[in-house]
Amino acid sequence: MSENRGSLTRQAVFGEKWLHERIFLPITIMDFFMKTLRMPLLLIIGRFNTWIPLQLSPLTVIFGKPISIIKQEQPTDEYVEKIYHEYYETMKIMFNEYKMKLGYSDKEVLIIKEEKSKLIN
């Protein structure tokens, strides 16, 4: 049965936002990287203008329940979308469940920027 199934485990790290300062670029540049490379451009700076953390603060890693994935030769777009949305919806639930316990404000939200129909190309 292990040949036909896999699992995708969600994980979230809390506390890394206090390790570095983030440098924000114009939205057009950030969108260019997101659309072209399919990854965000994150520039950070730490102590002495290096990547050394500003302070040593604890990091907490939270693991969610695994999502069971059925192996398919040619997965349909609908199946990939279903797994994608299940993954990110439960990430939001995990964030909201643990944020207050780990020093985040009740007003903080998790924003996931997604582009529909560009998952498989």
Q: Tell me the pLDDT tens digit for each residue of 24-79.
A: 889 999 889 888 988 888 889 999 999 899 888 889 999 999 998 988 888 888 99
What's the pLDDT score for residue 116? 53
19 vs 57: CA distance, rounded Å:
7
What's the pLDDT score for residue 3? 56
pLDDT band with cut points at 50, 70 and 90 for residue 2: very low
Residue 64, SS3 per DSSP: coil
* Number of CB atoms found within 10 A of residue 26's CB: 8
Work out the average pLDDT over 81-87. 90
pLDDT at 21 over 50: yes
